[in-house]
Amino acid sequence: MRPRNTPWLVVGAVLVVTASTAAHHGRLDYRDDQIETVKGTLVKIDVSNPHSIVYLDNRDPQGAPGQWTIEWVAGLQLKRQGVMDGMLKPGDQLVITGYPSRNPAEHRLKLRTVARPADGWRWAGTFR
């Protein structure tokens, strides 16, 4: 005999998975309707899963120093898209575009493109 609450358990499980996925990807954390450009010096890059993180030092329009934390795609995805370990090194001058945090004081972006003007290298891969 099948329990009567089985459909509700399935609906509940789907809702839990959907909510945790949405929370993980932080769609509400970033302004997908705006694009910001940040220029600066690469401090370090943590290539990992589920997201790689780029740390960039820059100066604001008034010349004050600051650091940006920029969320990139997973390390495995970067490798599949041709971005290998060591391609970006601390000290590299980068230009990054991305979607800004809803809280501007956080100095965070969800990366859209990255370029290294010194040699013309550029990444404009995809988020999957």
CB 88 within 8 A of CB 94: yes
> Residue 39 to residues 36, 68, 80, 124: CA-CA distances in angstroms?
10, 10, 26, 16
Q: Is residue 20's pLDDT more than 90?
A: no
Average pLDDT score over residue span 102-107: 91
Please check the confidence at residue 48 and state whether its pLDDT lies above 60.
yes
**SS3 (DSSP) at 38:** strand
Rounded to whole angstroms, the Cα distance separating 68 from 58 reads 8
What pTM was estimated for this model as a whole? 0.74
For residues 56-69, average pLDDT: 86
CA distance 72 to 76: 11
> In the structure, what pLDDT confidence band is assigned to residue 18 with cuts at 50, 70 and 90?
very low
Question: How high is the pLDDT of residue 12?
Answer: 52
| Domain at 30-121, CATH from 3.40.190.10, 2.40.50.140, 2.40.128.20, 3.30.56.10 | 2.40.50.140
